[in-house]
């Protein structure tokens, strides 16, 4: 598992690549403009020369000379802008390019870490977690209701109609997602589309700019058990992302420590009012209680919208 230092280093590497990419953009723009309007390049040299003279006059405390040079520089800058506009370029086309205007892609503003670097550090930790249990790439468009029987089962449930209702619910959830929506508990036998629909929701939410984290229960708790003394940052991201998807509850091996972590995740996000999607192949409340106990089960069943998946295993049809 990546350490905090490694995540910071990776985030700084990202900012360095941004600076290099933006510098390349700037060089290409200059070459484009100077080839079309050579006079603009000449004006640039004049402005640079006057800038050095302005600095010397300022250091010499020659205010009159400094003001005179400043006036010439301003006139040249105005001329350069007019030439750019007349040639079909934007007025700021030759201005430095930055991904983050606050820190100018340096990562710090007045000695304090910039929001862009904080976000990149969080992103690196999220990448670390999702790399351990990558989310399947699924969408609503590739979910097929005709895989489900259109005939009532022994419990009087028509699988296709039931899944059509769940499908519409999930689409609406994704389309209207906000950080204060109710959590979802998807349960039912394996191979019925729980992972597919939960990740289809994630796909929509990610495209809207929300921070979504996905983990398979088995992979997550294996990593937690192996890194008991270094899980603070990962758990902090799980607690604070916009949507957390915990897939395949019931497949993991839980120690007492792991169960306490699971309870902490579920309870903290419930108290904070931040949504989760939990999926499980456990098909009854009795099975959940046997696996997780009353406290976890009551939070899963009592504080989530429960979606019961029915039908036959659709995986052989995919």
CB atoms within 10 A of CB 154: 5
Query: What's the rounded Cα separation, in Å, for the pair 104 and 154?
Result: 64
pLDDT score for 99: 93
Total-model pTM: 0.64
Query: What's the rounded Cα separation, in Å, for the pair 169 and 159?
Result: 15
pLDDT score for 90: 94
Sequence-distant (6+) residues with CB within 8 A of 86 are none
For residue 234, give the H/E element and its range.
helix 232-240
Query: What's the rounded Cα separation, in Å, for the pair 243 and 233?
Result: 17
CB 189 within 8 A of CB 283: yes
Burial 50-77 (b: 16+ CB within 10 A, else e): beeebeebeeeeeeeebeebeeebeebe
Alpha-carbon 308 to chain mean position: 29
Of the candidates 48, 91, 89, which has an alpha carbon nearest to the alpha carbon of residue 72?
Answer: 48
Q: Do the bridges between strand 108-109 and strand 112-113 make them parallel or antiparallel, or are there none, so unpaired? A: antiparallel
Q: 195 is written with which tokens?
A: 């992972």
Q: 266 is written with which tokens?
A: 């579920």
CB 307 within 8 A of CB 315: no
Per residue of the chain (318 residues), what is the pLDDT tens digit?
A: 444 566 678 888 899 999 999 999 999 999 999 999 999 999 999 999 999 999 999 999 999 999 999 999 999 999 999 999 999 999 999 999 999 999 999 999 998 889 888 878 777 766 665 655 566 788 999 999 999 999 988 888 899 999 999 999 999 999 999 999 999 999 998 889 999 999 999 989 888 878 888 889 998 888 888 877 777 777 887 888 889 999 999 988 888 998 999 999 999 999 999 999 999 999 888 999 999 999 999 999 889 999 999 988 666 665
Helix, strand or coil, per DSSP, at residue 26 = helix
CB atoms within 10 A of CB 190: 15
pLDDT score for 128: 62
Instruction: Write out 210-227 in H/E/C secondary structure.
Output: CCEEEEEHHHHHHHHHHC
């Amino acid at each position: 598992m990546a350490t905090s230092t490694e995540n910071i280093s990776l985030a700084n590497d990202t900012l360095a690549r941004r600076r290099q990419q933006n510098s390349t953009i700037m060089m290409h723009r200059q070459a484009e403009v100077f080839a079309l309007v050579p006079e603009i390049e000449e004006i640039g040299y004049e402005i640079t020369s006057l800038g050095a003279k302005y600095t010397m006059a300022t250091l010499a405390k020659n205010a009159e000379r400094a003001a005179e040079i400043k006036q010439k520089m301003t006139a040249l800058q105005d001329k350069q802008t007019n030439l750019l506009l007349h040639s079909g370029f934007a007025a700021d086309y030759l201005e430095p390019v930055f991904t983050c205007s606050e820190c100018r892609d340096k990562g710090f503003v007045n000695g304090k870490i910039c929001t862009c670097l904080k976000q990149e550090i969080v992103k690196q930790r999220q990448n670390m977690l999702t790399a351990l249990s990558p989310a399947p790439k699924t969408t609503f468009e590739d979910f097929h209701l005709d895989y489900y029987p259109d005939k009532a089962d022994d419990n009087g449930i028509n699988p296709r109609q039931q899944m059509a209702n769940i499908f519409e619910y999930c689409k609406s959830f994704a389309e209207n997602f906000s950080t204060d929506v109710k959590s979802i508990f998807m349960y039912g036998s394996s191979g019925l589309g729980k992972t597919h629909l939960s990740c289809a929701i994630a796909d929509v939410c990610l495209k809207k700019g929300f921070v979504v984290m996905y983990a398979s229960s088995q992979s997550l708790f294996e990593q937690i058990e192996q890194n008991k003394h270094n899980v603070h940052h990962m758990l902090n991201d799980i607690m604070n992302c916009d949507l957390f998807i915990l897939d395949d509850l019931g497949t993991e091996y839980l120690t007492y420590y792991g169960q306490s972590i699971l309870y902490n995740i579920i309870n903290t996000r419930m108290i904070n009012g931040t949504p989760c999607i939990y999926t499980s192949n456990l098909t009854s409340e009795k099975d959940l209680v046997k696996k997780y106990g009353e406290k976890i089960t009551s939070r899963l069943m009592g504080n989530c919208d429960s979606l019961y998946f029915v039908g036959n295993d659709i995986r052989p049809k995919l």
